[in-house]
Amino acid sequence: MLPLSEIEHDALVEIFNIGVGRAAAAMSAIVNEAVSMSVPSISFLNRSDAARLLGPGGRNASRVCGVSQHYEGAFRTEAILMFPEEKSLDLVRLMVGGSVPLLELTEMEQEALSEIGNIILNSCVGTLANIFEHELHGSLPAYHVGSCDKILSASCGPADTVVLMLHIDFALEVHEIKGYVAFILDLTALQDLQEQIRRYLARIMGQAER
């Protein structure tokens, strides 16, 4: 959907791996548990295919929790962290401790998940901004719960929007949680992103030749 060359694709995966690595370090400090994250794959999809990727059943798949933030600067995008709803309380327990009663956990859920989303999204986007040497300014996090398609539909606007999907593996000592970060991009934002990747590659290749 976006004609990234192999080297551009690999560079983008590596950039996001740096970002989620920083997010993992921040999460580890909060939950007092070893946390590692990786981005094994990225893909450019339309909205319906992106929703289908998040779980069996396609557009009406099981509910997910999402935290979104809007960014402007080097390119414009809506970034959304999504993971299965049944894993949400596991993440909240990591934030607040395992001894908190279930009722209190559910009351803390939105605030805790918004904070997790804020950490992960800002780590990814902050890494992009640093490497591209352009600022990206973010809004406050917004919490969503519903089907994959519903959450993506709330952010996808014009027909030419594309979803850049990051598959993120969360590896914790006693938990395994898989999630996705989606970047909603229109045609202009796609072109801006590709141009930033090309400039970054030109800089590092120029430095290597010196």
Distance CA 82, CA 74 (A): 24
Please classify residue 25 by burial: count the beta carbons closer than 10 Å to its beta carbon, then call 0-12 exposed, 13-18 middle and 19+ buried: middle
State how far the Cα of 96 lies from the Cα of 160, in Å rounded to an integer.
41
For the chain, the C-alpha Rg in angstroms (whole number) is 17
List, in order, residues 6 or more apart from 67 with CB less than 8 Å away. 80, 81, 113, 114, 116, 117, 118, 121, 141, 142, 143, 144
User: DSSP code of 4?
Assistant: -
Q: What is the pLDDT along the chain (210 residues), one digit of tens a residue?
A: 557 889 999 999 999 999 888 888 888 887 777 888 888 888 888 877 887 776 554 444 567 888 999 999 888 899 998 887 777 777 777 777 666 666 666 777 788 888 888 888 998 899 999 999 988 899 999 988 888 777 887 666 555 678 888 888 877 666 677 778 889 888 888 889 999 999 999 998 886 555
pLDDT of residue 71: 93
Residues contacting residue 159 through CB under 8 Å, at least 6 positions apart = none
Supply the DSSP string of 89-125, one letter for each residue: HHHHHHHH-TTS-HHHHHHHHHHHHHHHHHHHHHHHH
Of the candidates 189, 152, 193, the residue with the CA atom closest to the CA atom of residue 76: 189
pLDDT of 197 reads: 93
Q: What is the pTM of this model?
A: 0.82
Q: What pLDDT was estimated at residue 200?
A: 93
pLDDT at 60: 42
Structure tokens at 90: 């596991």
**Is residue 149 within 8 Å of residue 47, measured between CB atoms?**
yes
Three-state SS for 21-71 is: HHHHHHHHHHHCCCEEEEEEEEEEECHHHHHHHCCCCHHHCCCEEEEEEEE
Q: Return the amino acid letter for 198.
A: R
